[in-house]
Amino acid sequence: MSNVAAPATEGPDRSEAPAHVAIIMDGNGRWAAARGLPRAEGHRRGVEALRRVVRASHELGIRYLTIFSFSSENWSRPASEIGDLFGLLRRFIRNDLASLHRDGVKVRIIGERDGLESDICALLNEAEELTRDNSRLTLVVAFNYGSRQEIAKAAQALAREVAEGKRDPASIDAETLGAHLDAPDIPDPDLIIRTSGEQRLSNFLMWQAAYSELVFVPIHWPDFDKPALESAIAEFARRERRFGGLVAKTAS
């Protein structure tokens, strides 16, 4: 874990880019408050940052980009703010889906869809269906997502298989449980970035983060850009060179 205070002056070699980067996009509200702007403006600027980072991810050779779009705990926020967030999601999919598809981006959604408004579910389904055959970059959107809930749901599915006589309890191991998570075909993140200086996972990809490198940056999400992403990747590459990758991590 580390803080990265400033963007690197030189970007990382494309060959050193992690295959899978996950980002906790934090700080929209604080960015807006520091400028005397409404929180909704911070969220709007956060969408602009997302566009920049999706484009930069492909340019840097990242194959999977996972973003924490809406946490299952976000329902405790004021109704007006939730409405703003959902409005931005609607506009992002309606306005950006065609360009994402044109650029070869595959969209995947993880998280609970039960209880969401029908038009939101339809938009999420449309994004996945339209882009399902794309292969340049996979954008995984964690929406109405919580890692504890994901793990509990996987455990429940295995418990039902045992109760129905379809599975021996002794056959359940880490690999089996992992196969019942929301996107078992997507590799675990190599690098998890959290913006805005907070240093915690906040119920995000806790199972998948077992061997991820964690980089925390003081930049609020609306200010995050390609140089900031390059700086985080450079830190990741330094650690990989220093420790020799996953083998050294698992052996330590």
- pLDDT over 80 at 33, yes or no: yes
Q: What is the pTM of this model?
A: 0.88
Predicted local confidence at residue 249, as pLDDT: 53
The whole-number average pLDDT for the span 91-106 is 91
Three-state SS annotation for the chain? CEECCCCCCCCCCHHHCCCEEEEECCCHHHHHHHCCCCHHHHHHHHHHHHHHHHHHHHHCCCCEEEEEEEEHHHHHCCHHHHHHHHHHHHHHHHHHHHHHHHCCEEEEEECCCCCCCHHHHHHHHHHHHHHCCCCCEEEEEEEEECHHHHHHHHHHHHHHHHHCCCCCHHHCCHHHHHCCCCCCCCCCCCEEEECCCCCCCCCCCCCHHHHCEEEECCCCHHHCCHHHHHHHHHHHHHHHHHHCCHHHHHHC
Catalytic residue among 3, 13, 74, 103: 74
pLDDT in tens, 54-82: 999 999 999 999 999 878 777 777 788 78
221 annotated among ligand-binding-site residues: no
Weakest mean pLDDT among 109-123, 202-216, 220-234? 109-123
Tens digits of per-residue pLDDT, 36-59?
Answer: 999 989 999 999 999 999 999 999
pLDDT higher than threshold 50 for residue 5? no
Residue 165 is labelled as binding a ligand: no
The CATH fold assigned to 20-145+182-237 is: Undecaprenyl pyrophosphate synthetase (3.40.1180)
CA nearest to 141, candidates 235, 208, 240, 68 = 68
Is 27 annotated for ligand binding? Answer: yes
- Which of the following is catalytic: 3, 13, 26, 188? 26
- Give residue 117's pLDDT band: very low, low, confident or very high (50, 70, 90): confident
28 belongs to an annotated ligand binding site: yes
Written as six digits, the tokens of 71 are: 């946490």
**pLDDT band at residue 252, thresholds of 50, 70 and 90?**
very low
Candidates 48, 47, 45, 49; CA nearest to 32 is 45
Q: In 10 A of CB 159, how many CB atoms?
A: 13
Residue 30 among known ligand-binding residues: yes
- Reported as a single tens digit per residue, the pLDDT across 191-206 is 999 999 999 999 999 9
CA gap 242, 250 in Å, rounded? 14
- Beta-strand pair 64-71/213-216: unpaired
Grade residue 219 by pLDDT with cuts at 50, 70 and 90: very high
The residue among 88 and 245 whose pLDDT is bigger is 88
What is the Cα–Cα distance from 230 to 123, expressed in whole angstroms?
A: 31
The domain limits of the chain are: 20-145+182-237
Residue 26 is a catalytic residue: yes
Q: Is 96 a catalytic residue?
A: no
Whether 246 shows a pLDDT value over 60: the answer reads no
Per the listing, tokens 């005397």 go with: 36
Mean pLDDT for 7-15 is 51
Query: Per-residue confidence at 89, pLDDT binned at 50, 70, 90?
Result: confident
**Is it the case that residue 11 has pLDDT exceeding 90?**
no
